[in-house]
Amino acid sequence: MSTNQPAPPIDEVGALLGRMRSAASPVRDVLRELHERLSKDDSGEVATYIPELAKANPGWFGLSICTVDGNTIEFGDVSQPFTIQSISKAFVYGMALEDRGLENVLAKVGVEPTGDAFNSIVLDEISNRPFNPMVNAGAIATCDLINGADHPERVARMLNMIRTYCGREIHIDHSVFLSERMTGHRNRAMAHLMRNFGMMGEKFEESLELYFQQCSILVTASDLAVMGATLANAGVNPKTGERAISADNVKYVLSLMLTCGMYDYAGEWAFRVGLPAKSGVAGGIVAVIPGVGGIGVFSPPLDAKGNSVRGVRACTELSQRFGLHCLATGSGGNALLEALTARRR
Ligand code: GLN
C-alpha cells in the first residue's frame, strides 16, 4: 500500500468495512499489514524534556479502531499505558463548555489556530486571551474553568469525565505528574501572565496543578479509539452507552481538533488526513471519523513537529486507503456507516 494510491471506490470501501466483525475481514488485513510495515520504521525521537517521558520504549506501537457501534479492530501494544498529555486538552475543553457554557468559555479562550509551538507564550494583543485551547496557554486557562468545590473535587470530576469517554477506571501517573510539575516553569510563567491579564482567577495556581494532573492521566491506544468513537457518536460511549458530552458541544471540540489539534502540523494534517485529531507528546494520537468511529494510535518517537511518526503515517494511510477525509463528498466514512447500519437491520 503506497500513500499515493487513490482512495478506492465507495462500494469497495463499504464492502471492506462492512465486514469488520469477521475474523477474515480485509480491514483487519489492511491494519495488520500497516502495523507490521510501520513497526519497522524507527525514525523520530522520544520526548525527553520531561524526564519521566524519556523512559518510554521507542518500539511500542499500538493501533486501534473502534466504530460507533462498538466494534474494535486492533494490533500491537494497544494495552500499554502511557500519559495522555496534550490529547487531554480537547476533552477538558469539552468539559469546560459543559461546565460554563460557550460564551463564558469564549470570553477566556479563543478559537484561532496559531502557527506557533504548543508551548509558546503568546496572547492575543487585543483581548489578552490565549489563541485556542489546544496550545498550553489556552489549555491552562481552560482548566481554570472546570467546576468543583475544591481542588480534589475538580480532579475527581476530570478523572470521571475521562473515565466516561474510556469506559473504564483511569488513574494519574504520579511520577509523570511530579516530573511535569518540577520542570513546568514555562507553563507556570504562562499561568502568571494570564493571571496578570485577568484571564485566570484567584485559584490559578490550583488550575495549573490540575493541568499537570490532566496531562499525567494514563490511557492506552484502545482507550483513545473508544474516546474518539465517543466523539464520533455524538458524545455517547458506544461500548457503555454512557454520555460523556452533549451532542451540541461535540462539534465545537471537533472543530478545534481539526484546525488546531496537531501542533504546527495542523494545517497540513487537515489538508492531507482531513480528520479531527489531537496528539500528545507521549506519542498518542486520537483521530475522529465523525459519525463512524475513532482511531487510537500510540508510538513514542516524535517527528520535528512533536507528533508520533508512526501515528501520523498510520492515520494518513488509513484516511487515503479508505477515503476518510471528512470534507470529501461521499467519503468512505459514510460508506462504513451505511454498511454497519445495513447489517443491524
Ligand atoms: N505536559 C506537556 C506540557 O505541558 C503537554 C504537552 C504536550 O503533550 N504537547 O509541556
Q: Which of 93, 165, 252, 263 is catalytic?
A: 263
Least confident span in 12-21, 103-112, 118-127, 194-203: 12-21
Residue nearest to atom 2 of ligand 1 (CA): 85
* Domain end among 199, 215, 231: 215
Q: Would you say residue 4 lies in a domain?
A: no
Q: Would you say residue 148 lies in a domain?
A: yes
pLDDT of residue 146: 98
pLDDT at 1 over 50: no
CB 214 within 8 A of CB 92: yes
Q: Please report which confidence band the pLDDT of residue 331 belongs to, taking 50, 70 and 90 as the band edges.
A: low
Q: Which of 30, 64, 68, 89 is catalytic?
A: 89
Q: Would you say residue 141 lies in a domain?
A: yes
Closest atom of ligand 1 relative to the 280 alpha carbon: 8
Whether residue 64 lies in the annotated active site: no
Q: Would you say residue 7 lies in a domain?
A: no
Q: Which of 30, 155, 281, 288 is catalytic?
A: 281
Q: Each residue of 68-85: pLDDT tens digit?
A: 999 999 999 999 999 999
Q: Would you say residue 2 lies in a domain?
A: no
Q: Each residue of 194-243: pLDDT tens digit?
A: 999 999 999 999 999 999 999 999 999 999 999 999 999 999 999 999 99
Whether residue 108 lies in the annotated active site: no
pLDDT of residue 330: 63
Q: Which residues contact 146 (CB under 8 A, 6 or more apart)?
A: 92, 95, 96, 99, 154, 157, 158, 207, 210
Q: Would you say residue 1 lies in a domain?
A: no
DSSP string, 266-291: HHHHHHHT-S-EEE-TTSEEEEEETT
Distance 169 CA to ligand 1 centre (A): 23
Q: Would you say residue 6 lies in a domain?
A: no
Q: Encode burial over 299-323: b for 16+ CB neighbours within 10 A, e otherwise.
A: bbbbbebbbbbbbbbbbbbbbbbbb
Whether residue 216 lies in the annotated active site: no
Looking at the fold, whether 113 and 185 belong to one and the same domain comes out as yes
Mean pLDDT confidence for 322-336: 74
Give me the domain span that covers residue 78: 12-83+219-341
Distance 306 CA to ligand 1 centre (A): 10
Distance 54 CA to ligand 1 centre (A): 13
Q: Each residue of 148-197: pLDDT tens digit?
A: 999 999 999 999 999 999 999 999 999 999 999 999 999 999 999 999 99
Looking at the fold, whether 125 and 169 belong to one and the same domain comes out as yes
Mean pLDDT confidence for 23-44: 88
Mean pLDDT confidence for 34-59: 95
Mean pLDDT confidence for 5-26: 50
Q: Would you say residue 329 lies in a domain?
A: yes
Total domain count, the chain: 2
* Domain end among 215, 246, 267: 215
Looking at the fold, whether 241 and 336 belong to one and the same domain comes out as yes
Which of residues 151 and 118 earns the better pLDDT score? Answer: 151
Q: Whole-angstrom Cα distance, residue 69 to residue 239?
A: 8
CATH code: domain of residue 136 = 3.40.710.10
Closest atom of ligand 1 relative to the 186 alpha carbon: 10
* Domain end among 186, 215, 244: 215
pLDDT at 2 over 80: no
136 lines ligand 1 (CB under 6 A): yes
Q: Whole-angstrom Cα distance, residue 31 to residue 209?
A: 39
Closest atom of ligand 1 relative to the 279 alpha carbon: 8
Mean pLDDT confidence for 36-41: 98
DSSP string, 215-276: HTBEE-HHHHHHHHHHHHTTTB-TTT--B-S-HHHHHHHHHHHHHHTTGGGHHHHHHHT-S-
Q: Please report which confidence band the pLDDT of residue 114 belongs to, taking 50, 70 and 90 as the band edges.
A: confident
pTM over 0.85: yes
Looking at the fold, whether 70 and 94 belong to one and the same domain comes out as no
pLDDT of residue 338: 56
